[in-house]
Structure 1
Amino acid sequence: MTPNALPRRLTSTIIIALAFGVPAWAKTPVASGTGGAVATISEPASQAALAILNKGGNAVDAAVAAAAALGVTDPFSCGIGGGGFMVIYLAKENRVITLDHREVAPASFRSSAFAPDGKAMDFETAVASGMAVGVPGTVRGWHDALDRYGTMSFRQVLAPAIKAAQDGFKVNDNFVALVKENEQKFALFPETAGRYMRDGKALPAGTLLRNPDLAKTYRLLSTGGVKAFYSGKLAQAIVDSVNRPPVAAGVSVRAGQMSLADLANYEARWRQPVRSTYRGYELVGMPLPSSGGVTIAEALNILEGFDLKSMPREKAEHLYLEAARLAFADRNAYLADPEYVDAPVEGLLSKDYAARRRELIDPTQAHYYAQPGDPYLFQQDPSVPLRPAGAAKARLLSESAHTTHLAVSDKDGNIVAYTFTIESWGGSGITVPGYGFILNNEMTDFDFTGPHPNVPEAGKRPRSSMSPTIAFRNGKPAFTIGSPGGSTIVTTVLQTIFNHIDLGMDMPAALDAPRISERNGRATSIEPGFAGSAQAQALERFGQRWDAAAEEIGAANAIVFHPDGSVTAVSEGRRHGTGSALVQKRGH
């Protein structure tokens, strides 16, 4: 089945839910229709976006509304204490623009921050600290997106999230599992422990959880706008929490050195997207400091030289893994914040360079620990210098796998693919007292030691794997895809595109298929239940090997745009407690 011949799953259940208030547990991961669409991992977030669309808001307005609601219901993966990347398609102008509101290192940050004695400190110790907190960019990003391309104010788009925070929501098993995973970290910080734990343990499933402090903060933004976050009492509370972390009695964690000037000087960046082609599609993704757009494009360029449709599935998947391995070797060696590093992006995106890398793949046998290639030979831009010293070191570094992604489109054809994060599950663990949101630990996305393009520097944005992507065919939107998952974000988006285009799966099947993530590490990451399966055994015959620790990979969201003008919103069918897809009813 070709991607353009997708089955349409009409959603009478969604219409019933909207009309009669079906409870949150009745969320549906696939929805089709002819209006605006939204896919998130949270029913309240999807409903928030739909409410804004139904009131005449556009995709940008709805995306911010959904993101604000996710800050309430999924506070361990995202929120205003973090940052993100937004890819926006403007239908009337037929163009794509990207908004980088990634966190930045405070002006006091130094390259030796995580290796004060020359040796990298323990990763978890670094995470649960004030020094792990980067200057948050989310609120500035929301403001800039609304100011330039939205139609509504903070007051309007934050209203659903304020209600959700004030009224509360019932925590589910997935929420409880995330708290249990973080009990030790949360116990360090009374403000966090007091909200999400009881007697040192996670709140039980079914507990109604309210966050009046976050509702207060959102109201502050509704009246005071972006300045209310980056100056004044709230900014001072952020700085105090970073520099003097509010810890439990007898606890000590490393303090940061953030200033009010760091917050006041924060700027988001409008950037031109990364563009590539693959089997008749144009793929438009996030540029540096996201490594996603470049790495996905390079891997697909490598795969494009193989006739994957004619192969048995296991051989095609073997080639997918090997292409990802080679692309990650380059990603790990060269990519970082473009304002600090002249990365050879043009060379990495070159089809000729991909052909050179493709020659290294053995169609019958896996290779391990690929070395980076030399994209500088394919670099036409003379301003990018020759390969830097130390570039041959290709390492897979610790990168937290916890973020969230949402997809929104409106009736006019505008699209937003938005991935944002506070980094680890629960970020730094530090809740800003009285304001109800957790601060990020984004500084741990830097390499702890060098030499490396991604070492910490003052004002620098750590390299990210967030990969919001929009695909076009014949000049029109075909689908959008993105996911959380740290460095597995890149492979989740890559594998979903591979499943959809090369293996012919419809988008729900492409999302639900078992994920296998090769990032040029010790072994390929897999999900529970994959080892020992017929699919795994078939790939083992090519020499593929699996990481012993299996865990859920990603929580993707997508929208498919059909030639007849209808849309299908797709969220996870089983991961992260199942996602929520909604499409507007006729008449809106």
Structure 2
Amino acid sequence: MSRPRIRALACAAALALGLGAASAVPASADPRQTEKDPIAQGSGGAVASVDPQASAAGIEILRKGGNAVDAAVATAAALGVTEPYSAGIGGGGYFMYYNAKTGKVSTIDGRETAPAAMPHDAFIDPATGKPYNFTPELVTSGAAVGVPGTLATWQRALDNWGTQDLKKVLHPAIQTASRGFVVDTTFREQTLDNKKRFEAFPDTSELYLPGGDAPKVGSIFKNHDLAATYRLLAKSGPKAFYQGELAQEIADTVTAPPKNADTDLPVPAGFITAKDLADYAVVEQAPTKVEYRGLEVFGMAPSSSGGTTIGESLNILEQFDLSSMQTPSALHHYLEATALAYADRGKFVGDPAFVDVPTRTLTSQLFGAERACALDPARAAVKPVAPGDVENFDGLCPAETGAPVDEQDTENVSTTHLSVVDRWGNMVSYTLTIEQTGGSGMMVPGRGFLLNNELTDFSTVYNPEDPNRIDPGKRPRSSMSPTIVLRDGQPALAIGSPGGSTIITTVLQTLVNRIDLGMDIGQAIAAPRASQRNTAAVTAEPEFITAYGSALEAFGHKLTPAGDSFTPQAEIGAVAAVEVDSHGKLTAAAEPVRRGGGSAMVVKPAK
């Protein structure tokens, strides 16, 4: 796709989305945020997310003197209202923060955990002795629900770096849940896609399928139960979620799923107890860090595989001058680098509390240089490729490699990401999720939020040698990749995306587009995508195949269109980013088209 075509697509999508939303609910009659602008430039602070109401919540906090952390939590809470099938307090995520005063990047691992009573055969149907069908059986079950970490993440972030309390930052989301938001096409389509699953549960179907149908596009959707839950949390804090009545209700929902009598879904029971909730704790840890083309790129350390896999890929690509190549050749290098990094991800990465993850090795320049020896600039390797040797490496080309690893991919695409920068230069990159679109499909009765099905990210069949095997108390491996880039120690870019295991490639390809291929951040996000995760075929968007398919097939790549159970809309990822230039100007950037388009806002728009 040419750069003028990218600009035209972004502008056309922004105009179409804005006019369509405004016609559904006239701005003069109702001040709800409906217009979506994929690019916003200015100063005073910026927010990028998938939803205008959520981005507006963050901007409201910034305008009232809050910092990036305050605004990020406010945006995330609002996404729990307007994007309830992708995020919410029933899930988890990874929070990354750059402190402008100290120059330090910090992270919070708020990933869900397996219950203490989680058995190794939790995903095996006792009636047949075989694994449950992944969809719809396993994804719609109590067995897949992990102990949620989102609310604990919000509180820890506010305690560590925020300037406002939970009550203040929840206010915009409470208002949105009470007053309602305007239903768009994406919300209606996602509801209908999950109709059978939602119909299995009385509270879920009552809220999202009133009268047996999804809410109409242009109608106002309210969630009074969630507003009441947020008010409870604003008053009493996270203890009201992790202890007492609500905690017991969560445990009861998981262990005795409240399903309708006429559903034919089995809905296996899960294992969470009130004690699991009381015992939940986030993990604070150092980020991963690599240097790429003179920039410092910080990522999320395990239990996420995002930081190690993106970092290793960049270290491999550092050995080649992509900017001097024709685009197909640069893309060939990008695809081959990710295949190599994904091989190491599958072999070595899991929850470091249970697995000895060689994080330093995987992100070291020396290891990356040695892995680059396996990248043939003229020809695609036969996939899957073998992992590297993390015990013996010297940056020189090894004589041979080991055997390929068969990795299961059960991560789902329905996640969300937000990026925030404030007036002081503090920066947040935050990815959060409930996994499947609609999570487990189970709503805690009377509480207004869906529970995750995050434990499906574990390997289905237990293998003691698998770093992502099921273990009690363990965090399943994730591909969520909140990323922060510094230039000469100063903030340059906060970026991330949803997309299951394609999150890693989405963030990496956007970075390559921006840093190596000469695109501005809007173009880098809008450009067509492809994802190589050490598989025989490259998953690619139709526009990518049209633009580069023939040239890449000449390298030996096999491209297959996106559009399966993990990428049902034939699109990959949904980036939200904020860039800071060398003069401090802010550019908030989101998708112009994917997932209905995103929402970029700044406190003080440039004239």
Query: TM-score range, shorter-chain basis?
Result: over 0.9
Per mean C-alpha deviation after superposition, the further-off stretch among 433-442 and 368-377 is: 368-377
1:445-464 aligned at under 5 Å gives the runs 445-449=457-461, 450=463, 451-464=465-478
Residue identity opposite 2:578 in structure 1? I
Residue identity opposite 2:203 in structure 1? E
Q: Does 1:538 align with 2:547?
A: no
The residue that corresponds to 1:121 in the other structure is 132
Q: Which runs of 5+ in 1 are unaligned?
A: 1-6, 381-389
2:57 pairs with one of 4, 25, 48: 48
1:377 pairs with one of 384, 392, 401: 392
Q: CA offset at residue 530 of structure 1?
A: 3.4
2:45 pairs with one of 36, 44, 59: 36
C-alpha separation in 2, matches of 1:446 and 1:376: 26
C-alpha separation in 1, matches of 2:134 and 2:445: 25
The residue that corresponds to 1:384 in the other structure is none
1:76 pairs with one of 77, 82, 85: 85
Residue identity opposite 1:158 in structure 2? L
Contact 1:557 1:572 in 2 (8 A): yes
C-alpha separation in 1, matches of 2:344 and 2:212: 44
2:492 pairs with one of 478, 493, 502: 478
C-alpha separation in 1, matches of 2:535 and 2:246: 41
Per mean C-alpha deviation after superposition, the further-off stretch among 443-452 and 277-286 is: 443-452
The residue that corresponds to 2:566 in the other structure is none
1:427-438 aligned at under 5 Å gives the runs 427-438=439-450
Residue identity opposite 2:422 in structure 1? D
SS in 1 for 2:309: helix
Q: CA offset at residue 474 of structure 1?
A: 1.1
C-alpha separation in 2, matches of 1:71 and 1:175: 13
Q: CA offset at residue 23 of structure 1?
A: 5.6
The residue that corresponds to 1:570 in the other structure is 589
C-alpha separation in 2, matches of 1:113 and 1:236: 21
1:87-236 aligned at under 5 Å gives the runs 87-115=96-124, 119-124=130-135, 125-236=137-248
The residue that corresponds to 1:547 in the other structure is 560
Q: Does 1:557 align with 2:560?
A: no
Residue identity opposite 2:188 in structure 1? V
CA offset digits 1:80-108 (Å, max 9, x no partner): 00001000011111101000111000000
The residue that corresponds to 1:24 in the other structure is 33
Contact 2:332 2:380 in 1 (8 A): yes
SS in 2 for 1:426: coil
Q: CA offset at residue 113 of structure 1?
A: 1.3
C-alpha separation in 2, matches of 1:289 and 1:394: 20
Contact 2:41 2:605 in 1 (8 A): no
Contact 1:372 1:394 in 2 (8 A): no
1:497 pairs with one of 499, 505, 511: 511
Residue identity opposite 1:246 in structure 2? P
2:359 pairs with one of 326, 333, 345: 345
C-alpha separation in 2, matches of 1:396 and 1:505: 34
Q: CA offset at residue 549 of structure 1?
A: 4.2
2:329 pairs with one of 315, 321, 335: 315
SS in 2 for 1:27: coil
The residue that corresponds to 1:488 in the other structure is 502
2:314 pairs with one of 290, 300, 322: 300
CA offset digits 1:330-389 (Å, max 9, x no partner): 111110000000011222112222222111122122122111111222499xxxxxxxxx
C-alpha separation in 1, matches of 2:285 and 2:81: 29
Contact 1:35 1:566 in 2 (8 A): no
SS in 2 for 1:130: coil
User: Between Structure 1 and Structure 2, how many residues are aligned?
Assistant: 565
Distance 1:116 1:391, change over 3 A: farther
Contact 2:32 2:181 in 1 (8 A): no
2:268 pairs with one of 247, 251, 254: 254
C-alpha separation in 2, matches of 1:487 and 1:165: 31
SS in 1 for 2:391: helix
Distance 1:549 1:563, change over 3 A: closer
C-alpha separation in 1, matches of 2:497 and 2:153: 19
Contact 1:350 1:378 in 2 (8 A): no
C-alpha separation in 1, matches of 2:361 and 2:301: 14
The residue that corresponds to 2:405 in the other structure is 393
SS in 2 for 1:282: strand
Q: CA offset at residue 22 of structure 1?
A: 6.6
SS in 1 for 2:559: coil
Contact 2:257 2:442 in 1 (8 A): yes
Q: CA offset at residue 25 of structure 1?
A: 3.2
Q: CA offset at residue 437 of structure 1?
A: 0.2
The sequence identity of aligned pairs, in percent, is 50
C-alpha separation in 2, matches of 1:548 and 1:58: 41
Contact 2:305 2:349 in 1 (8 A): yes
Q: CA offset at residue 585 of structure 1?
A: 2.0
Per mean C-alpha deviation after superposition, the further-off stretch among 289-298 and 347-356 is: 347-356
C-alpha separation in 2, matches of 1:294 and 1:99: 16
C-alpha separation in 1, matches of 2:536 and 2:268: 31
Q: CA offset at residue 432 of structure 1?
A: 0.6
Q: CA offset at residue 148 of structure 1?
A: 1.6
Q: CA offset at residue 226 of structure 1?
A: 0.8
Residue identity opposite 1:130 in structure 2? G
Distance 1:378 1:349, change over 3 A: farther
Q: CA offset at residue 133 of structure 1?
A: 0.4
SS in 2 for 1:436: coil
CA offset digits 1:486-531 (Å, max 9, x no partner): 0000000000000000101000000000010110123111124433
The residue that corresponds to 2:535 in the other structure is 521
The residue that corresponds to 2:94 in the other structure is 85
C-alpha separation in 2, matches of 1:53 and 1:199: 40
SS in 2 for 1:376: coil
Q: Calculate the TM-score normalised by the size of structure 1.
A: 0.93
Cα RMSD between the aligned structures? Answer: 2.2
Q: Does 1:404 align with 2:416?
A: yes
